[in-house]
Amino acid sequence: MNFKTKYFLKSKFQEYYKTAQIHIPSRLEAREWGFISFDEMPETVMRRHKSFGSRGEVEEYLAGMAPAHAYHSVAYYTYPSAPTMKEKQWQEADLIFDLDADHIPGAPNSYSEMLDHVKKETLKLYDLLINDFGFNEDDIRAVFSGGRGYHFHISDPRVRSLGSAERREIVDYISGRGLNIEKIFYKKAVSGDAGSENARMNMLSPESEGGWGGRINRYLVSYLTDLASKEDAEELFSGFKGIGKKTAQKMIDILRDEAQVELLRRGNMEALSKVNKDIIQTLALQAVNDMSASVDEPVTGDIKRLIRLGGSLHGKSGMRVTTLSISELEKFEPLTDAVVFSDKPVKLKVIRPFAVQMKGNDLYIEEGTQELPEYAAVYLMCRGAAEYGS
């Protein structure tokens, strides 16, 4: 990144920060702040150990310095500007989750498709936090990172004192890591007729129950009843290893009988006891894979981490780090809603061919001198794919 490019980007960021709506974190005076400047690029130098006493001080600093990246600590400190962690005196920290395309298996290469993929993971995480952990929606804040994913901030006082190990355990649950599928299914003793021995019934948590047992029940029943409803159901079930036409038809009859399905929903799996155990366990693993969320464990476990400031700009994209409610998240289109710069044409020298979709436009940019809308020009320069001017 040459001097002219750095000067142009810094001036555009400064222009943005003069009127930007910044999401100031709670108890800002107890937070450590950190910044990366355009001036030192291509070197990445984090200037940290800063503190502010008011919103006005933060806004004044951003407008004056126009940093490429702006961060605040997830932790609350007694002395946030102290030069060492020991001297800062850690008090507690928000619970943070980071969902980034780099850590999500199967993320597409296309930027727009990749962001859609990460958003689906983000909504799965939200479902787990609300329905399994019981967090209140008001205590959860979603933030588009301005780059390749989303952050969740949880400010519930019940979790702020948790240490790193406890936070990693939460990640284990969310990702389904270490879940023993064999123990999800269990045998329950039931009384037989007079004079007969007790029988043992195949059981699973009822669908109404919290935790992975209830989730797997809902997935299994939904998946199997959906298969049974299809015209080629017999062929579909016969495709499973160990299921012949006779067993397939029996399963279809069970799964089309509402009374039998209701028993399954209540956790009584006896009707499926003749089905190959490996098939049921494979479907249970599939349920965990489809319903778990891929989060970056080191981020959640780091109780002294710096996280991007809501409302700031991401120096590698020029897009806004956008704070969202859950209803806003569902409708959020990052390549439109987080783009803050204008359509005004800017001349630049493209170093390598580039393709990106922004503001509803598919841009295929050739190498050489080009004139592009400002928002696309800023993006390419931030990505290191172009320099300002001809």
Catalytic status, residue 98: yes
Q: What is the token pair recorded at 306?
A: 């710096």
Closest CA to 293 of 98, 125, 152: 125
CA distance 153 to 98: 9
Residue-wise burial string across 222-250, b where 16 or more C-beta atoms lie within 10 A, e elsewhere = eebbebbeeeebbebbbebeebeeebbeb
Non-local CB neighbours of 220 within 8 Å, separated by 6+ positions: 204, 264, 280, 283, 284, 287
Query: Comparing C-alpha atoms, which of 183, 190, 174, 177 is closest to residue 204?
Result: 183
Q: Which of 39, 94, 100, 156 is catalytic?
A: 100
127 is annotated as an active-site residue: no
Distances (CA, A) of 95 to 11, 120, 230, 309, 318: 34, 20, 44, 15, 27
Which of 39, 94, 98, 337 does the annotation list as catalytic?
98
Tell me whether residue 296 is one of the annotated catalytic residues.
Answer: yes
What is the C-alpha separation between 66 and 8, in angstroms, rounded? 11
Residue pair 99/150 in contact by the 8 Å Cβ criterion = yes
Which residue among 296, 337, 343, 362 is the active-site one?
296
Taking Cα atoms as reference points, which of 61, 51, 7 lies closest to residue 25? 51
Amino acid, single-letter form, for residue 164 = S
From residue 316, how far is each of 3, 66, 101, 319, 323 by CA, in Å?
A: 16, 14, 15, 8, 18
The residues carrying an active-site annotation are: 98, 100, 296
